[in-house]
Amino acid sequence: AGRCVVAVDGPSGSGKSTVSRRLAAGLGARYLDTGAMYRAITWAVLRSGVDLTDAAAVGKVAEEVELRIGTDPQGYAVTVDGVNVDREIRGPEVTGAVSAVAAVPAVRALLVARQRELINHAGRIVVEGRDIGAVVAPDADLKVYLTASEAARARRRSAEDAVDVAATAADLARRDRLDSTRTVDPLRQSADAVELDTTELGIDEVVDRLRGLLTERG
């Protein structure tokens, strides 16, 4: 089979990760979690002790570390300088700092270039993030923008992370605000993306709709 790139964008808690992984597995395609890449760089920045507001220093850390990420939808490892950071990049410290690091233009330039390489190499791949349809893969075969009510998103994330709903809701609102208002590649829906509100839909229903859209497009 030839090339096929599916771009899945949306805010956190919209169901992107679960849906993207399941869609990729069903298609026999690769899967790229670009959020994990921003999280891994954030982990390295926190470890280095540089000031998060020092864009030049943050950019330098990003350039110097060796970041590796797998693309197997059944399970992929993220390593920084050979250290597996799968667990730590989901923790509260990284989650609290990632939007600041992701707003640094040098970090985005670096990761967008890496993401394009991984996509070109994979051929068939589902890519999830915030700027995939608009910036990373503007020529994607299918662009999806997943949304869900704030309440549904907070409920899902708090169940995944085992933290209380109120704290999760506050964190989601804070990250959404930072992610949508940054100057470089803010979270936004590209004009040619199909919007899907997942508030009332189960994961399988969302995956089925996306498969249907792919079939329609041949």
Binding letters toward ligand C5P, positions 23-42, x by CB under 6 A: -----------xx--xx---
Q: Which of residues 104-133 bind ligand C5P (CB under 6 A)?
A: 129-131
Q: Is the dihedral of CA 209, 215, 216, 218 positive or negative?
A: positive
Residue 161 vs 208, nearer CB to ligand C5P:
161
Among the residue ranges 22-30, 97-105, 159-167, 208-216, the one whose residues contact ligand C5P (CB under 6 A): 97-105
Least distance to ligand C5P, CB of residue 37, Å: 7
Nearest CA-CA partner of 36 in 48, 21, 56: 21
Residue 3 vs 174, nearer CB to ligand C5P:
174
Binding residues are: 10-18
Residue from 27, 125, 175, 193 binding ligand C5P (CB under 6 A): 175
Least distance to ligand C5P, CB of residue 24, Å: 15
Enumerate binding residues for ligand C5P (CB under 6 A): 12, 34-35, 38-39, 98-99, 102, 129-131, 175, 179
